[in-house]
A and B are shown apart, each in its own frame.
Chain A
């Protein structure tokens, strides 16, 4: 206010003072408004910046996996070198190596060092291909057959620029001679570049060039199926009971504390539960999608319950009262009116809970899913591996070629996650309601 004696202030003066005070305060208030909004925008920008960085790194590290360098070789099946009485014992790899050497116009030396060097560039799968061909049709012996497939991981890495000719020879896994051969084969068109279909049609392998994600994808799908069929119905029904039916007494308080508590239980504790209860007491087969699904269902259950409860809570009581008013019973009011209105929230919550379960790794490490499973799981009680655990296994592998595959497996995993999230978002966007 002013220092002037009260007697000299007129009404209009006072009004002006108040106005000035309000306006100066308004400036401050608007500045703080803008600041507050900026904090919000900044927070979003930071979060999205991390998202871009994270995904960008994964994509740049993993993209090279989808390109593969393959070779196609005509191998003469010399009858003199194939002992028909013991097909398994024949050195097919050497036959392939000799065929490649012949293509390069070189001859193996007496110690076989050149063919050894060639073998290092070829996947051992070629030998198995020859063996299977001869087993299927013995008349092929004496003829020339074609085998094709990916190069060994080291050679593949050279073409992808991971192994550089400029680095000193003793620090690389490939010699200068091997690099010369590779270049020669490449320029003569024997080595071709193509899309790596094998990554999607093969399962885990000890050889990086033969390793794929099919087994892990199938394992994940099976496990998630078990989880979804257990966690979603049980969770939704439990939430409906607690929110709409349960009398408010000591018992339901216990259940409520319990569920909130379960949501806060770290996932790794569910792994301990799986180990102690499901494996040691109930005898559920180790490493199986059934076991993994059970553990993850228990883990996802509280999340589903909480999501369902909060969307049930968001439905205003007037809906229930209106239903009661026209003579519906409590069950009818809930199942005909409240639950359908809460369904978008329930679906969103359930899908997110399942997406989280799909990416869960820690509890699965405890229940033996880290084992090496080279095939596609054939049943819910058979040993299986799942995508996130596959990522963990490959991340720990010593071969360098597995590292790009780790990032590629992450990309596959993320595609599934994004699909699930997209579904959740579509559900939310189409049906979300503000009361």
Chain B
């Protein structure tokens, strides 16, 4: 509540700063904006930024760190009655003290009367801390607002380079936003590497990457048979690759040709109808494709293969017939096929945008030389758009590799080292989900293996992407 009031006051102060700054600058130029270095609004914005932003940043930081700081102060001194409690009970005690101070719901822990007294004392202490902290924050915010105003306001006159200063702020903001992406990557790498290191300390990386036996279920006792588990991830990689390959065989040609048709052949009317329809396919969530694969495509494929197998029975291909007769719903082909459907709009929409951005002049030049449309597409447009299209395919591949829901629902859980599309396979992503949605004991190799797999997945997409960037750079052509 107080925080919201502080934000409102800050907004109001910034508005006032904007108005007075603008007025002062205008007044110094005798009311004529033509004599000023920048437009009047920039002077106001400059003051408003210095008044509002530092204080707002401080407020944000204090909200982020406040609870933690208070917790640290609170736990610095332990009341003597706590000595009888275990460390978990102590943790709960301090959490409850903070909850009591903030008027939140307490945990269900039951305390002895003397501990209860200590709890209330601690809660009072917490209130003192949080009040002091809040007052300190607000006071500091006030100082920042005042300092910002005094730093900027006296300097305003018609020759002040306000626009450049404001643009400096804008540049800083833009840079900060692009750094978020780097921080995200760092976060991913750090969290993956950290947990993976713990995993690889119990399972050697070579066994993980090259082993052919995957059975992460670990026995309850150390001496149990098979208690070591098997962490050879090669079958998972093979399964992932197989499903991806099938998916790209469906999505690649269909997606690319749709894109060519839409951008080069379809008239404006057809384009206005087909493109949105394709994008509906792109908007369909993967969990829906999973539902579709498991309940519609799987049974259809199984029946088709089973009846095909029936035709071979008794003939020279009897073995094949027998094999086809016992094909199951869950197979790599179903998952890959449905994944391919999912990727069609992804490939086509990206390729379409890229083909569209090839300058019309190139096409016109080709037509003027007497080339047909398809020749223009094959010889001029596609080579020009190749880097972008390679990028599109690459993104599609990495999406296929990382796709989770379809394979979870349609490919199965059995780790098999096979390239037969009619077999049940499992993929890296399926195993991550299976390992992490079960029991959440964070220290067992079983859960840490998920992070090992995640790191591998991440590394593979990294390599894929670097290769793609190479291709893009090699073929890049500059227009205009």
User: Any chain A CB within 8 A of the CB of B328?
Assistant: no
Cβ-based interface call for B88 (8 A): no
The reply to whether B296 and A57 contact each other, CB–CB distance below 8 Å, is yes
Q: Are B258 and A43 in contact (CB under 8 A)?
A: yes
- Chain A 355-367 interface 0/1 with B at a Cβ cutoff of 8 Å (1 = within): 1101111100110
Q: Which residue of A lies closest to B270 (CB)?
A: A44
Partner of A254, one of B164, B177, B182: B182
A101 is an interface residue with CB less than 8 A from chain B? no
Q: A359-B286, A362-B433 are in contact. Are A265 and B188 (CB under 8 A)?
A: yes
**Cα A265 to Cα B184 with chains together (Å):** 11
A54 / chain B contacts, CB cutoff of 8 Å: 281, 284, 288-289, 292, 341
User: Are B188 and A413 within 8 A (Cβ)?
Assistant: no
Q: A32 at interface (Cβ–Cβ under 8 A)?
A: yes
**B276 at interface, CB cutoff 8 A:** yes
Q: Can you list, as one digit per residue, whether each of B340-358 has a CB less than 8 Å from chain A (1) or not (0)?
A: 0100110010000100110
Task: Tell me whether B437 and A36 are in contact (CB under 8 A).
Answer: no
Query: Does B451 touch A at the CB level, under 8 Å?
Result: yes
Residue A68 at the chain B interface, CB threshold 8 Å: no
Binds B, one of A84-92, A195-203, A204-212, A232-240: A232-240
B461 interface hit (Cβ, 8 Å):
yes
Pick the contact of A37 from B261, B290, B409, B437 — CB < 8 Å?
B261
In the complex, which of the residues B195, B287, B289, B402 contacts A268, with contact meaning CB atoms closer than 8 Å?
A: B402
Q: Which of B272, B283, B432 has the most CB of A within 10 A?
A: B283
Q: Is the CB of B402 within 8 A of A33?
A: no
Q: Does A221 contact B (CB under 8 A)?
A: no
Separation of A424 and B345 alpha carbons in the complex (Å): 15
Interface centre among A261, A352, A356, A414 (most CB of B within 10 A): A261
6 nearest A-B pairs in the assembled complex, by CB-CB distance = A266-B402, A359-B285, A40-B261, A276-B191, A241-B174, A43-B257
18 contacts between A and B (CB under 8 A): A36-B377, A40-B260, A47-B278, A48-B278, A258-B181, A263-B395, A272-B450, A298-B184, A301-B181, A335-B170, A358-B285, A359-B284, A362-B429, A362-B433, A417-B285, A421-B279, A421-B283, A434-B356
Contacts from B to A (Cβ < 8 Å): 163-164, 167, 170-171, 173-175, 177-182, 184-185, 187-188, 190-192, 194-195, 253-258, 260-262, 264-265, 272, 274-292, 294-296, 341, 344-345, 348, 353, 356-357, 359-360, 372-375, 377-378, 394-395, 398-399, 401-405, 408-409, 429, 432-433, 436-437, 442, 450-451, 454, 457-458, 461-462, 464-466, 468-469, 480
Give the B-binding residues of A (Cβ under 8 A): 29-30, 32-33, 35-37, 39-44, 46-48, 50-51, 53-54, 57-58, 61, 233-235, 237-238, 240-242, 245-246, 254-255, 257-273, 275-277, 280-281, 298, 301-302, 305, 310, 313-314, 316-318, 329-331, 335, 352, 355-356, 358-362, 365-366, 370, 388-389, 391-392, 395, 406-407, 410, 413-414, 417-418, 420-422, 424-425, 429, 434-435
